[in-house]
Structure 1
């Protein structure tokens, strides 16, 4: 069933919004929903986000629960910080693979208000950790097609319930997209071959540029023919890159893209997501 991804800084009011949406979905649509967050999974936030290892385990645990319930017959409301762009891309891929609709709700709330909200909570963040997570928030951008449909609300603004429900329950399901996509691809006899060629070109550029980019300190690789940027903390081996290539091509069979340009963007975003997930 549909996936509503709520993201925003710690203590920005995400759970309050999630509970509000869950109540309205039941009252107005008579549909069931489940909220997946740290509290409902009995995680202590200070422990769950205290270091990189804990964070990775927390994100993996939350994601596995999203994957589990997205197959069931109810709306999944994923209420967490979800501050990493690559992680949100992985969740988008989950929704696509499950052949269901999805959208994002981003809470744009100042740090001062988050700190004030945090003081009154039982399961709260250490203030230094809260500030650190706040600064690391990678704000969703509408130019990234997989971040859309996307709704942004500021502190005390009304939740756009009707608009989100229209997208999640009454819009044409994005999962049916691949059917049309496959038809287009069949009309282009060499589309799959060209996709594999594009993917290999991206790998070649990474191999040629990554060492130099990391040595000069920023680890940022820009690619010809795309606006996407890949940020690496260490060089990836040929074996690692070939494995990523194979995983991505397998993923394309489940969630194909319509154009070769989208292949470039999707592959770079896929690599970034895997690198961030593994803490590399």
Structure 2
């Protein structure tokens, strides 16, 4: 089922919008909606976002959790910063492999607005100002011209969430087709067993004909076996 990727500055209203979407889809589609995010992993933001390796590990954990929850029945909302375009591309590859649609909801605010919202939070929920500023500076805004950022819904703080348009993008649009990079490749050709049986029969018939002419030597038997193994190996490759 579809994946909704939230995106925006820290304290830009992403979680509030994710909850609005959850309520709407559970009431309108009667489907189960999973919100996956920093909160669900118990992330201590000021510790994680101060360490690039810890942040990388959290992103990997979020992606793995999304992959586990994507199925044919439920809707998944990834509620995190998702500020790196390379990471959004990885999520796009994930949904191509799962063959399900997705969309991006961009909660657009100014640096000043988000910073004010951050300082108005309880102290335990605030970003340290230096970490907040660093995340804003590193933010890579989504671009609808990129296939991994499309369809893109940009929402300002006072906008009404376009839930019907988002629903249409998820349920009235075909999933992106898989390609070689997102599909598992077969280990051998589809007719491998047929070819193996045919080669084996040919070798056995050759040995039988040789027996009728003269008694085969040990070298003849070993040579036939080696030929069979070589041909089988070539067919498997």
Shorter-chain-normalised TM-score: which range? Answer: 0.7 to 0.9
What residue is the counterpart of 1:29 in the other structure? 29
Question: Within 1, Cα distance between the matches of 2:81 and 2:21?
Answer: 17
2:149 and 2:128 map into 1 onto residues whose CA distance is 29
Deviation by residue 1:25-63 (Cα, 9 ceiling, x = unmatched): 111221110001111111111112112111111111111
The aligned residue for residue 77 of structure 1 is 77
Structure 1 outlier segments of 4+, above 6 Å: none
**1:142: which partner in 2?**
144
Q: Secondary structure at the match of 1:19?
A: helix
Superposed, which structure 2 residues align to 1:1-280 within 5 Å?
Answer: 1-71=1-71, 73-119=73-119, 120-121=121-122, 122-174=124-176, 177-178=177-178, 250-251=180-181, 253=183
The CA deviation string for residues 237-269 of structure 1, in whole angstroms up to 9 with x for no partner, is xxxxxxxxxxxxx515469xxxxxxxxxxxxxx
Compute the displacement of 1:124 (Å).
2.4
Partner residue in 2 for 1:205 = none
Q: Tell me, yes or no, if the aligned pair for 2:31 and 2:73 is still in contact at 8 Å.
A: no
When structure 1 is superposed on structure 2, of 28-37 and 69-78 the one drifting more is 69-78
Instruction: State the TM-score, normalizing by the size of structure 1.
Output: 0.62
Alpha-carbon distance between aligned partners in 1 of 2:99 and 2:182, rounded to the nearest angstrom: 14
User: Shift in Å at residue 153 of structure 1?
Assistant: 1.1
CA gap 1:50/1:29 in 2 versus in 1, 3 angstroms: same
- 1:140–1:36 Cα change, 3 Å: same
**Do the aligned residues in 1 keep the contact of 2:7 with 2:107 (CA within 8 Å)?**
yes
User: Is there any run of 5+ residues in structure 1 with no aligned partner, and where?
Assistant: 182-249, 256-280
Distance (Å, rounded) in 2 between the aligned partners of 1:53 and 1:147: 25
Q: Conserved in 1, the CA contact under 8 Å of 2:8 and 2:107?
A: yes
Q: Distance in 1 between matches of 2:12 and 2:160?
A: 14
Closer, same or farther in 2 for the Cα pair 1:145/1:124, shift >3 Å?
A: same
Q: Distance in 1 between matches of 2:184 and 2:5?
A: 21
Bigger radius of gyration among the two: 2
- Equivalent residues of 1:8, 1:107 under 8 A apart: yes
Higher relative contact order (CA 8 A, sep 6+): 2
Partner SS, residue 40 of structure 2: coil
Counterpart residue number, 1:184: none
Once the two structures are TM-superposed, the CA of residue 71 in structure 1 deviates from its matched residue by 3.0
**Alpha-carbon offset, residue 98 of structure 1:** 0.5
